[in-house]
Amino acid sequence: KFEDIFYVNHFIKSLRDEVKVLKELPPEQKRKAESEPLYYMVPMYFGSLEYYLQRCRVNYEALRFSQPIQETGRKIVNILREKGSFLVLHLRYEKNVLAFTSCKQGLTKEEAEDVKQMKYSQDGWRHKPIASNKKRKHGLCPLTPEETALVLQALDIDKNITIYIAAEEIYNKEKRMADLVATYPNLTILNPEELEPFMEHADQMAAMDYIVAIESDIFMSTFVGNMAVAVQGHRGHSLLTLLLTMKFALFHHDEFFLLVKKIHEDRTGKRAKRKENPDHARQEDSFYSNPQDCLPTFASTIN
């Protein structure tokens, strides 16, 4: 529920000049709502700059995580800080991501079939064409853990740095993580007892990952999704943020390393003027990754 993730009283207080929020509906409306929605609106997935200026009131001000999530997230950050600098790796190699994107690079025939079955079990995914190689060519597939290890090396990431994996269960984890663990042995394994209250709730675990990602010395994502761009925008431009891309092929070792560095020169969360395209909002920069031009008050709090 909303209150299991977010701080309800702060949410209501923050919006008091905009809209009245009730914790519970009055009895008559409650009975009506149980039989039919009082009002239903689908929010725009992509909007113009003007849309956000007129409508956005919640994302960076009203939403704060609940106290238990904040406390546990802070505890995780303190544990990592005791070891020195740390990197949060948003490793998007979960089974559901592979099924949603239809990306099968590195999978065996059996694994590809397993992922395919998951894709066709979801009503919203089954109609999406399977064009793995085409998506890969355009950088629309998540990096595999093995490729991630290569890219981290190419970017000269210290092999002794502590790495916190922000993700759900990696698909075929033991096999696929072997290269990454061998190259970067300081992957953090947290005490399950501390996380026990949240282990069965993916949204709460994701909230804690978000807190740790915001505080990390380096944040990296191997696939651009909602969390990655939100973290990028929240961190601002003073902290190193890398959205890794697979929009290149693997070459000879030295040539590959040089290419990775060149490609990621402009993908490090540097401050940039938000690009607008009023006729094609989908082609604009993500609002979440670059909110500063839209929200001057928010920008002033992170500089």
Q: Which helix (H) or strand (E) holds 227?
A: helix 226-235
Indicate the Cα dihedral angle 249, 147, 108, 92, nearest 10°. Answer: -110
Question: Could you tell me which CATH class the domain 68-93+142-265 is placed in?
Answer: alpha beta
Looking at residue 291, its pLDDT comes to 65
Looking at residue 266, its pLDDT comes to 63
Looking at residue 28, its pLDDT comes to 86
The CA distance from 248 to 252, in Å, is 13
Contact indicator for 188, 165 with CB cutoff of 8 Å: yes
Q: Minimal CA–CA distance to 62: which of 16, 130, 108?
A: 16
Q: Which pTM was predicted?
A: 0.77
Burial of 284 (0-12, 13-18, 19+ CB in 10 A): middle
The CA distance from 145 to 178, in Å, is 9
Phi, psi of 164 (to 5 degrees): -105, 120
Contact indicator for 218, 88 with CB cutoff of 8 Å: yes
The CA distance from 287 to 274, in Å, is 8
Q: Which helix (H) or strand (E) holds 87?
A: strand 86-90
The CA distance from 220 to 91, in Å, is 8
Identify the sign of the CA torsion 87, 88, 94, 97: negative
Q: Which helix (H) or strand (E) holds 192?
A: helix 192-195
Other C-beta atoms lying within 10 Å of the C-beta of residue 32? 13
**DSSP-derived secondary structure for 63-82:** --B-HHHHHHHHHHHHHHHT
Q: Which helix (H) or strand (E) holds 164?
A: strand 162-165
The tally of CA atoms less than 13 A away on the side-chain side of residue 290 is 15
φ/ψ bin of 129: left (φ > 0), alpha (ψ from -120 to 50), beta (otherwise): beta
The CA distance from 232 to 96, in Å, is 23
Give the gyration radius of the chain's Cα atoms: 21
The CA distance from 192 to 199, in Å, is 8
Q: Reduced to 3 states, what is the DSSP secondary structure of residue 28?
A: helix
Q: Could you tell me whether strands 240-243 and 162-165 are parallel, antiparallel, or unpaired per DSSP bridges?
A: unpaired
45 CB-near residues (< 8 Å, 6+ apart)? none
Residue by residue, pLDDT tens for the chain (303 residues) are: 889 899 999 999 988 888 888 888 888 888 888 887 767 677 666 666 677 666 766 766 788 999 999 998 998 999 899 989 999 999 988 898 888 888 887 888 999 999 889 988 888 787 777 777 888 777 788 888 998 998 888 888 899 999 999 888 888 888 999 999 999 999 876 656 666 777 778 888 889 899 999 999 999 888 878 888 888 878 876 667 776 665 554 444 566 677 777 766 665 555 566 667 767 766 666 666 666 665 554 444 444
Tokens of 122: 């979801």
Domain with CATH 3.40.50 in the chain: 68-93+142-265
